[in-house]
Structure 1
């Protein structure tokens, strides 16, 4: 597997900065992501935590949903470059 075809599992600096802004402000966000079954989900929630584990980035939503950053498609209409399928 070459570096060009390794799937994105961590967020780039710009995306991490945006996520930290949501985390620090407590703003409500529209988060669109793919769940484990491949279904597209839309939630309106706060981002409660942002962390990395085993080389992957995750967000924890206010209601307890844990979402891998590579599954997040959009936040408030902004596409997360390099994430999703």
Structure 2
């Protein structure tokens, strides 16, 4: 994986912020540091920035860098996000 952080869209960050507030379980597909596809089903507890990179903190204490995520709840990123139903 490239170490150069690539900022994600404002729409993606807004969706993730709503998911933090909702406390619902999210299905996230991402690439780990070795480039392998990983899947997680967990509650997103926090969305934060550290050293200029944005991360999710999952309920089980796992950190996921936002620019490594390529799908949230079955919707590929890089496409216009549909309303997830999360209020």
Q: TM (normalized to structure 1)?
A: 0.80
State the shift of 1:9 in Å: 2.8
Q: CA deviation at 1:8?
A: 5.3
Match of residue 50 from structure 2: 53
Cα displacement string for residues 13-46 of structure 1 (whole angstroms, at most 9, x for unaligned residues): 1111100111000010101011111110111101
Structure 2 portions without partners, runs of 5+:
80-87
1:24-43 correspondence to structure 2 within 5 Å: 24-43=21-40
For normalisation by structure 2, the TM-score amounts to 0.78
Corresponding residue of 1:76: 73
Which consecutive residues of structure 1, in runs of 5 or more, have no partner in the other structure?
1-6
- Aligned twin of 1:16: 13
